Amino acid sequence: MYLTKKNKEDLFKKHGKDAKNTGSAEGQIALFTLRINHLTEHLKRNKKDYNTERALVKLVGKRRALLDYLTKKDILRYRAIIKELGLRK
């Protein structure tokens, strides 16, 4: 599996405050980005997998909502996470 417990801990340690802080906006955005990238690669191989395509669209929407929240809450944190993850706006 691509998303193991160790991978998640490392992800939240890097982007969140620590490994236990799984609810931070930055950690959630990083997790969604990892899952989005994985699903994108899956859909490149399996073009007719419409259920995965729907899940991908929902994840993108969730990430967009968190990014919008972060812009309203703290623009500096938003800019930092965008730069860190290499997202474009």
CATH number of the domain at 38, please. 1.10.287.10
SS3 labels along the chain: CCCCHHHHHHHHHHHCCCCCCCCCHHHHHHHHHHHHHHHHHHHHHCCCCHHHHHHHHHHHHHHHHHHHHHHHHCHHHHHHHHHHHCCCC
Does some domain include residue 32? Answer: yes
**For the chain, how many structural domains are there in total?**
1
Does some domain include residue 67? Answer: yes
Distance CA 82, CA 89 (A): 8
Q: What is the pLDDT of residues 1-37, one digit of tens each?
A: 788 999 999 999 999 888 888 899 999 999 999 999 9
Q: By percentage, how much of the chain surpasses pLDDT 90?
A: 84
Does some domain include residue 9? Answer: no
Does some domain include residue 63? Answer: yes
